[in-house]
Amino acid sequence: MATLLVGTNVFLVQTFFCLRVYRITRSRVLALFAFTLVLTRLIIHVCIMVTIIKATTFSVVRSSAFKWQATSLLIIGATSDVIIALSICFALTRMRSGFTASDRLVDKLVAFTIGSGLLTSVVAVVEMITYLTMQNLVFLGFFSVLGKLYSNSLLTACSQSISSGFPWHKKHGETWENIDLSN
């Protein structure tokens, strides 16, 4: 059951970041591609849950069906994290204005985006390496940490968005409107 809860948590967090990709880049193609990866990851999480429920013993984690599911889940997860982080970073760097104060704020947001996206990717890769190379259950420790990292990255993103005062804007005619990223 924990697998499905973590999968749902990761899906919701990454969907939030896909929405952020769309709102910052205004690219439907990029946001839909990232969302497709996120949705694929959720489907694989459900498949893993079904595999675990059908099994009668915990040795299912060494079965070939579970192995390809877990490996593809972690590869797709790391890929979506990197795509989302790079998309946001690229769009933010294009928002530089030439003013020192606003450029510093953009640099901080880029550093945060790289840090949160890279951290979840690294933990997913470490989880995959420990799963594939070690014949014990060490990977479960990284699995349990990964769900918490996604929750923390969402909470930090929402908190930083509010506290930084960064104006997430979209052009509407001749006026600029604030975009509420918390919806």
Listed by start position, the domains of the chain span 2-159
Q: What is the DSSP letter of 95?
A: T
Top pLDDT among 67 and 35 is at 35
| Terminal alpha carbon distance of the chain | 28
Q: How far is CA 15 from CA 21, 38, 107, 118, 130, in A?
A: 10, 7, 24, 17, 27
CA 136/CA 170 separation, integer angstroms: 50
**Number of other CB atoms surrounding residue 23 within 10 Å:** 18
Q: What is the DSSP letter of 179?
A: -
- Condensed to tens digits (0 to 9), the pLDDT of residues 102-143 reads 888 888 888 888 777 778 888 888 888 888 888 888 888 888
Six token digits for residue 115 = 């840090």
Residue pair 105/144 in contact by the 8 Å Cβ criterion: no
Mean pLDDT confidence for 54-73: 86
- Condensed to tens digits (0 to 9), the pLDDT of residues 3-57 reads 778 889 999 999 999 998 999 899 999 999 999 999 999 999 999 899 888 887 8
pLDDT at residue 1 in the model:
66
pLDDT band (50, 70, 90) for residue 158: confident
Query: Would the pLDDT of 175 be above 50?
Result: no
Residue pair 153/13 in contact by the 8 Å Cβ criterion: yes
